[in-house]
C-alpha cells in the first residue's frame, strides 16, 4: 500500500473524523478546490453531512492545475484540516469531497457532473480575477483570456462562466431543473455580480438560454471568512505528526470561521447551520464590513508590511506602529459602513486584530499582496471614494494606496526584485515606464489605469496629493520611516 492510500485506514484513532457513510450522491459541484474551499465550505458540508446526512457530497473541479486532484484523489477526497490557534494545533479529517476533476484534461466528465440530476448547487471559489469582471462597468470583460477563448471556441469550454452556461443549457435540453449558483469569493454582492456576468456571457454565446437563467436560476450572495494560508511543508509535517500518516492534501487554518448566506436556493441546500453558517435575507452589509475592515486592512498591511520586511501578518501585528495603522484603518473603514445587524464594529475590529495576531498562523504578506488590481476596488477604493464624498478623513486609504503603489515598483528596499502576480502586471509596467522613482509621476501613472480609480478620486487634487506625499516618504526615507511617521501623525 502506498503512503497515500494508507491515509484511508491509518489516521490515528485519536483524530476527530466523521462517521457518515460517503456512498451518497454529489449534490454540490464546486469550481476551484483550493485551500480556502477545503477550510471553509467543505467543512460546513462535512458538519451538515454528519448531522443529517443527505446527498450533499462535493465533486470538485479545478479549472487549471491538476494539483488538487493529484493530492486528493488517491485519498478518495479525504484530507486533514489543521486548526491553529494560540492554544495549539488540532487535526480533524474532512470527508465531504468525493473527488476532483481537472477541467483541461477531463472536460466531458466536468460537464457530466454539472449536468447530473443529482447536482443542485454549483459553488465557486475562483478568486476575484477568475470571473472575467470588468471593473470599469461591473459587467463582463469579453477580453478576459478564458472568457475570450470560450467565446471564440464554444466547443472547448475552459472558463467558470463557460461551464456554468454550458451546464445550464444542457440541463434545460435534458429537462433537468437548474441549480443554484453560489459565489464564495470576496466580491461585494458576489451573487448579483455573478448573475450579471453569467447573463452577459450567455447573451454572447447562447442567447436562447438567457430567459431561463433569468427566471429559474438563483444566485444568493454570501460573505465568507476564514484566514487560510497556503499549505507549506510545515502543514504537511504537522499533519503527519498529528494523524500518523502522510497527507499532501492537508490544509491549515485559524479556529475562526464565518459564513453568512442569502437563503435563496432553487433546488434545496445542505443544513450548513450545522457548521455555524447563518442565513439572512440580505448579506450586503456583512460583505461590505468584511471587505473593507478585514480585507482592506489586510491589503494595506500586506503592501506596507512586505516592503518593511515583514514576512507574515503576525509579524506586522508585532510592529507597534504598523499595528496602530491596522487599527486606524479598521476604524476609518467602519465609518463608511451602514449599520450591520447585531454587529458592534469596535468589537469586530478587536476580534480581527486578535485573529491577525494569531502567532500560530504563518500568513504571508506576499500572498495577500497578489492581484492588487482585482482586490483594491472593493477593499480600498470604494471606501476611499465614500470618504471623499462624505468629507471623512482620507489618510488611511491614501496611505494604503501609496503602499500599493510602492509595491508595484517590484523591488524591495534591498534592491531585490519580485513578481507582482497581478493580471494587469503588464499594464502596470507600461503605466510606470519612464516614471522612475518620481512619486508624483508614479501616482499619476497608476491613477490613470483604466477603470481602477473612479473619476472622483483620480481627479481629486486632495486625494492625489495625499497619496503622493506618502509615496514620497516611502521612497525617500523607506517604508519603516513612512509607517512611523504615519502612526505618529495620527496618534502622537
Ligand atoms: C486575504 C483573504 O489573501 C487575501 O487577499 O485578504 O484571503 C483573507 O485572508 C480572507 O478573505 C479571510 O476570510
User: Tell me: the pLDDT tens digits for 135-191?
Assistant: 888 999 999 999 999 999 999 999 999 999 999 999 999 999 999 999 999 999 999
Look at residue 490 and tell me whether its pLDDT is greater than 70.
Answer: no
Q: Is the shortest distance between the CB of 295 and ligand 1 below 6 Å? A: yes
Mark whether 206 and 125 lie in a shared domain: yes
DSSP 8-state class, residue 294: I
Mark whether 76 and 213 lie in a shared domain: yes
CA of 187 to the centre of ligand 1 (A): 11
User: What's the domain range around 391?
Assistant: 284-490
Q: Whose CA is nearest to atom 9 of ligand 1?
A: 227
SS3 at position 485: helix
Mark whether 74 and 209 lie in a shared domain: yes
pTM: 0.97
CA of 62 to the centre of ligand 1 (A): 20
Q: Which atom of ligand 1 is nearest to the CA of 294?
A: 6
pLDDT, tens digit (0-9, with 9 covering 90-100), for 222-237: 999 999 999 999 999 9
Rounded to an integer, what distance in angstroms lies between the CA atom of residue 64 and that of residue 158? Answer: 8
Rounded to an integer, what distance in angstroms lies between the CA atom of residue 160 and that of residue 147? Answer: 8
DSSP 8-state class, residue 248: T
CA 407-312-472 angle, 5° bins: 25
Q: Using the 3D structure, point to which of 242, 260, 280 is the last residue of a domain.
A: 280
pLDDT, tens digit (0-9, with 9 covering 90-100), for 338-369: 999 999 999 999 999 999 999 999 999 999 99
Distance of CA 34 to the CA centre of its chain: 10
Write a three-state SS string for 227-243.
CCCCCCHHHHHHHHHHH
CA of 378 to the centre of ligand 1 (A): 13
Rounded to an integer, what distance in angstroms lies between the CA atom of residue 373 and that of residue 384? Answer: 15
Give the relative orientation of helices 395-408 and 382-390 as an angle to the nearest 10 degrees.
150
Distance of CA 60 to the CA centre of its chain: 17
Give 432: exposed, middle or buried? Use CB within 10 Å, 0-12, 13-18, 19+.
middle
Contacts 24+ apart (CB under 8 A), 425-431: 428/373
Mark whether 253 and 295 lie in a shared domain: no
Mark whether 269 and 347 lie in a shared domain: no
Mark whether 366 and 419 lie in a shared domain: yes
Mark whether 317 and 393 lie in a shared domain: yes
Q: What is the mean pLDDT of residues 320-344?
A: 97
Look at residue 1 and tell me whether its pLDDT is greater than 60.
Answer: no
Mark whether 297 and 223 lie in a shared domain: no
The three three-digit cell numbers of residue 366, written as one number: 506576499
Average per-residue pLDDT in the chain? 96
Q: Is the shortest distance between the CB of 473 and ligand 1 below 6 Å? A: no
Q: Using the 3D structure, point to which of 280, 304, 336 is the last residue of a domain.
A: 280
pLDDT, tens digit (0-9, with 9 covering 90-100), for 405-418: 999 999 999 999 99
Mark whether 316 and 223 lie in a shared domain: no
Mark whether 255 and 384 lie in a shared domain: no
The three three-digit cell numbers of residue 290, written as one number: 468584511
CA of 360 to the centre of ligand 1 (A): 17
Q: Is the shortest distance between the CB of 375 and ligand 1 below 6 Å? A: yes
CATH code, domain carrying 61: 3.40.50.720
Q: Using the 3D structure, point to which of 280, 300, 317 is the last residue of a domain.
A: 280
Mark whether 235 and 329 lie in a shared domain: no
Total tally of structural domains belonging to the chain: 2
Nearest to 428 by CA among 454, 446, 404: 446
Amino acid at each position: 500500500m502506498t503512503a497515500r492510500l494508507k491515509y484511508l485506514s491509518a489516521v490515528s484513532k485519536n483524530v476527530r473524523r466523521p462517521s457518515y457513510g460517503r456512498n451518497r450522491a454529489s449534490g454540490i459541484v464546486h469550481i476551484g478546490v483550493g485551500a480556502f474551499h477545503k477550510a471553509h465550505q467543505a467543512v460546513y458540508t462535512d458538519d451538515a453531512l454528519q448531522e443529517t446526512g443527505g446527498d450533499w457530497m462535493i465533486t470538485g473541479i479545478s479549472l487549471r492545475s491538476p494539483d488538487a486532484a493529484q493530492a486528493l484523489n488517491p485519498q478518495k477526497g479525504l484530507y486533514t484540516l489543521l486548526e491553529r490557534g494560540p492554544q495549539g494545533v488540532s487535526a480533524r479529517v474532512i470527508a465531504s469531497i468525493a473527488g476532483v476533476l481537472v477541467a483541461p484534461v477531463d472536460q466531458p466528465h466536468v460537464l457530466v457532473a454539472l449536468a447530473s440530476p443529482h447536482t443542485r448547487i454549483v459553488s465557486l471559489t475562483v478568486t476575484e480575477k477568475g470571473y472575467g469582471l470588468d471593473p470599469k462597468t461591473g459587467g463582463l470583460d469579453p477580453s478576459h483570456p478564458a472568457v475570450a477563448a470560450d467565446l471564440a471556441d464554444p466547443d472547448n469550454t475552459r472558463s467558470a462562466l463557460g461551464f456554468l452556461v454550458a451546464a445550464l443549457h444542457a440541463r434545460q435540453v435534458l429537462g433537468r431543473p437548474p441549480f443554484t449558483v453560489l459565489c464564495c469569493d470576496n466580491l461585494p454582492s458576489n451573487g448579483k455580480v455573478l448573475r450579471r456576468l453569467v447573463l452577459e456571457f450567455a447573451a454572447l454565446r447562447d442567447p436562447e438560454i438567457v430567459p431561463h437563467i433569468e427566471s429559474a436560476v438563483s444566485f444568493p450572495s454570501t460573505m465568507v471568512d476564514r484566514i487560510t494560508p497556503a499549505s507549506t511543508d510545515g502543514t504537511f509535517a504537522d499533519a503527519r505528526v498529528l494523524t500518523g500518516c502522510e497527507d499532501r492534501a492537508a490544509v491549515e487554518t485559524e479556529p475562526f470561521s464565518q459564513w453568512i448566506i442569502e437563503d435563496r436556493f432553487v433546488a434545496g441546500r445542505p443544513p450548513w447551520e450545522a457548521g455555524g453558517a447563518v442565513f439572512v435575507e440580505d448579506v450586503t452589509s456583512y460583505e461590505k464590513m468584511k471587505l473593507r475592515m478585514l480585507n482592506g486592512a489586510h491589503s494595506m498591511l500586506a503592501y506596507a508590511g512586505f516592503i518593511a520586511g515583514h514576512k507574515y501578518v503576525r509579524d506586522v501585528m508585532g510592529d507597534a506602529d504598523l499595528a496602530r495603522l491596522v487599527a486606524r484603518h479598521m476604524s476609518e473603514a467602519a465609518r463608511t459602513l451602514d449599520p450591520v445587524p447585531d454587529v458592534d464594529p469596535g468589537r469586530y475590529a478587536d476580534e480581527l486584530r486578535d485573529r491577525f495576531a494569531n502567532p500560530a498562523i504563518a500568513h504571508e504578506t506576499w500572498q495577500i499582496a497578489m492581484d492588487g488590481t482585482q482586490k483594491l476596488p472593493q477593499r480600498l477604493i470604494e471606501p476611499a471614494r465614500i470618504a471623499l464624498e462624505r468629507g471623512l478623513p482620507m489618510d488611511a486609504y491614501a496611505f494604503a494606496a501609496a503602499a500599493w503603489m510602492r509595491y508595484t515598483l517590484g523591488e524591495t528596499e534591498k534592491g531585490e526584485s519580485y513578481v507582482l502576480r497581478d493580471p494587469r502586471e503588464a499594464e502596470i509596467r507600461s503605466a510606470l515606464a519612464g516614471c522612475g522613482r518620481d512619486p508624483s509621476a508614479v501616482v499619476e501613472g497608476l491613477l490613470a489605469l483604466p477603470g481602477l480609480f473612479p473619476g472622483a478620486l483620480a481627479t481629486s487634487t486632495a486625494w492625489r496629493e495625499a497619496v503622493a506625499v506618502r509615496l514620497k516618504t516611502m521612497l525617500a526615507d523607506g517604508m519603516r520611516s513612512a509607517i512611523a511617521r504615519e502612526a505618529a501623525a495620527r496618534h502622537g
